[in-house]
Structure 1
Amino acid sequence: MNTPLQAVHHIAIICSDYEVSKRFYTGVLGLHIIREVYRERRQSYKLDLAIGDHYIIELFSFPYPPPRPSTPEACGLRHLAFAVNNLDAAIQHLHNNDVATEPVRVDEYTGKRFTFFKDPDGLPLELYEV
């Protein structure tokens, strides 16, 4: 079956505190800013972020966004996973930045190690060792 889909273009995240989330995604996770705009009409920032040359995340701020359940087992989008070459080093980097991680798990099908952590709004994020 042929599909017109080529790749994931981006993931949109709405945060509750724009400056805190901006520091987390750029300073802690190391994503690069492509562009940042303030949309006066919507009273909203839009921050386009990349990993290397790959555009990946749109970070939005909106006044008074409604809360959403945000555990890895909640209905809806489960989590966002980042590939890492060295899981132990990535976990240490997060811990050095006061980001807690869950115990390391092993994927029962691939044998690869992974862990979960949360962004400033509790969005579940994953590090997956490749």
Structure 2
Amino acid sequence: MLNINKIHHIAIICSDYEVSKHFYTKILGFEIVAETFREARDSYKLDLAVNGIYAIELFSFPNPPKRTSRPEASGLRHLAFEVNDIKATERYLKDNDLNPEPIRIDEFTGKKFTFIADPNDLPIEFYEA
């Protein structure tokens, strides 16, 4: 059996680097740990942290293929971030024109959650603690 400690990071390939960088840093509030331009690949790599914990690697590549999001396809389904107040989160998302889905209740836990799409149509879930 492997001895895995935790999830180390999530890698996301974006279609528009500046738009995605703005979304993850200015809208969601992730902190920039490092930003590197890889000339040989004509690609940026942006390392991001949430509350000081390394979480996301954001990559840019020239002309990446569009992500299949709906109907749901195999592979990564969505990213989920824990929040303390789902109603306050919903207001913030609406104030930033992110069009959150109606708040739903998880039938198994009774917790509230909502979804938006990131600039690359990756589903992002906000799940109330």
**TM-score over 0.5 for the pair:** yes
The residue that corresponds to 1:34 in the other structure is 33
Correspondence list, 1:3-18, <5 A: 3-18=2-17
Per-residue deviation at 1:64? Answer: 1.0
Measure, in 2, the Cα distance between the counterparts of 1:63 and 1:37.
Answer: 15
Which residue type is aligned with residue 47 of structure 1? L
- Unpaired runs of at least 5, structure 1: none
Distance 2:32 2:104 in 1: 31
Task: Give the distance between the partners of 2:6 and 2:70, measured in 1 at CA.
Answer: 25
1:79 positional shift: 0.2
Q: What is the rounded CA distance, in whole Å, between the counterparts of 2:50 and 2:123 in structure 1?
A: 18
- 1:73 shift after superposition: 2.9
Q: Between the two proteins, what is the percent identity of the paired residues?
A: 60
What stretches of structure 1 move > 6 A for 4+ residues in a row? none
Asked if 1:48 corresponds to 2:47, the answer is yes
For 1:88, the aligned partner's letter is K
Number of the residue aligned with 1:70: 69
Give 5+ residue unaligned stretches, structure 2.
none
Q: Do residues 24 (structure 1) and 31 (structure 2) align?
A: no
Q: CA deviation at 1:53?
A: 1.2
Deviations, residues 38-81 of structure 1 (Å, cap 9, x unaligned): 00011000000010111000000000111221248322110000
Aligned-pair Cα RMSD in Å: 1.2
2:99 equivalent in structure 1: 100
Is contact 1:79-1:126 (8 Å) kept? Answer: yes
Letter in 2 for 1:53: G
8 Å contact kept, 2:23–2:118: yes
TM-score norm. by structure 1 comes to 0.95
Partners of 1:68 and 1:17 in 2: CA distance? 13
What is the alpha-carbon distance in structure 2 between the residues aligned to residue 5 and residue 127 of structure 1? 25
TM-score by length of 2: 0.96
